[in-house]
Structures are given as structure tokens and as C-alpha cells.
Chain A
Amino acid sequence: ETGVTQTPRHLVMGMTNKKSLKCEQHLGHNAMYWYKQSAKKPLELMFVYSLEERVENNSVPSRFSPECPNSSHLFLHLHTLQPEDSALYLCASGAGTTSYNEQFFGPGTRLTVL
């Protein structure tokens, strides 16, 4: 158990749907991350939050909207997605925002956009 949980584990949605991914960490960390993992591509960093403030947005399309209400919870709101957005979305947490701090990953949400 990594201490980072994600729900749902699997999600199928149409391009006109609105859905949200949830991440929760029980490790007392103050930094949280969203990554996208597509087949045959490296993990791509999407967003970084430190103490509930967004500190990085890696040119992610606006159809992905993150929210961090507190240091334990992170959401990724999805709307009008495209089929190419189908991927595994991973959440991670760490003690700080520098990558020298070990990041603990959740199991991911497998997203399919029809």
C-alpha cells in the first residue's frame, strides 16, 4: 500500500461528458502531482501542487482542470475530452516540490474516451 489512492480505477466517457478523477494521500505530504501515461510514451507531468497552490502547469489543454482543496486531496476535472486523451492518469505525492523528494504514486485511473 503506497498510501496514495485513486478513484475510479477505470473510467469510460464520451467526448461530451464531464467527469472527475480523485486522488487522496495519507502520507502527510504537501506536494501532489498529476501525470499522464500513454502507451509507448514516457510519463508526462501535467500539474504540480504545493500546499494547495498550483506551482506548475505543463501546457496542458484547458479541458483538464485540476483542483487541490487541501494537501490530502487532488482532483482532475475532465470535460469535452478527445479520444487521444485516453491514457492512464497517475497521481503522486511527495514531501516537497523538488523532484529530489521521492514521489509516491497511486495505482492510476485508466481512462477511455469514446
Chain B
Amino acid sequence: GESVGLHLPTLSVQEGDNSIINCAYSNSASDYFIWYKQESGKGPQFIIDIRSNMDKRQGQRVTVLLNKTVKHLSLQIAATQPGDSAVYFCAEIPPVLQGGKLIFGQGTELSVKP
């Protein structure tokens, strides 16, 4: 079956540095991608999304990059803060005819050192 995976299960960064979390997806037909943040004791929280007709989208301190050629997704967090410490999940959505439901990756744990 199709899967969504993350290159790094854990990432430790210094406060103020930029963070990059990577994700590989395998369904080239997926046309929508989402990044979620899950803090300890909480459910996943939507961060940013991107459609397959885009290669970059920016939010507040976050940027998502999509490279369809190599089926790679990344989340960049600028000036990482202690409050950014969490597990980050990427999720892809295959076309409706292939299920059309969110498929989540395993997650990357981001730890921010003060």
C-alpha cells in the first residue's frame, strides 16, 4: 500500500534556529498535503496545507515546500521557539477514487533547546 514516511524520527534544534522537517510520500497521485502539530497530551493541530499545483506555501513562521518530482514534502519553521516542541505529522490525501482520506506519516519529534 501507499505510505507516508519521515526521514528523521527526532530533531533537536537550538532556540532561534530554523527547523526543517522532511516527509516522503509514495502516491504520486496525491493532490493535497497537510502538516499537523501534536503537543504532549493534545490532539493533532492543523498547521498548514498545500495543494499539488503549488510548490511552496507560507504561513506565520512556517513554510511548506512540495517537490513532486521526488515526492518530497518539507516543513520549515523559522526562529524555532520552545513552544514549537512537539511531534509533527505530514499527511497526504490520495484522489477520491483511491480513497480520498487522510493518510498520516509516523511523525517527527521536534525538541527545542533553550
A residues whose Cβ falls under 8 Å from a Cβ of B: 2, 4, 40-43, 45, 48, 56, 90-92, 98-100, 102-108
Contacts and interface: CB of A to CB of B under 8 A. Distances in A.
Given A42-B103, A56-B101, A106 B43 contact: yes
B19 to A, nearest CB: 21
Nearest to B43: A105
Contact of B45 (A40, A48, A105): A105
Contact of A43 (B45, B49, B104): B104
B43 A42 contact: no
A100 B93 contact: yes
Where chain A touches its partner, the secondary structure class is loop
Nearest to B107: A42
Interface of B: 4, 32, 34, 41-46, 49, 89, 93, 96, 100-107
B101 A45 contact: yes
Given A41-B106, A42-B4, A103 B101 contact: no
A56 B93 CA distance: 16
A103 B45 contact: no
A99 B104 CA distance: 12
A93 B63 CA distance: 25
Given A99-B101, A102-B49, A107-B43, 19 more contacts: A2-B45, A42-B103, A42-B105, A42-B106, A43-B44, A43-B102, A56-B101, A90-B43, A92-B43, A98-B100, A99-B100, A99-B102, A102-B34, A103-B46, A104-B46, A105-B44, A105-B45, A107-B41, A108-B43
B109 to A, nearest CB: 11
B104 A42 contact: yes
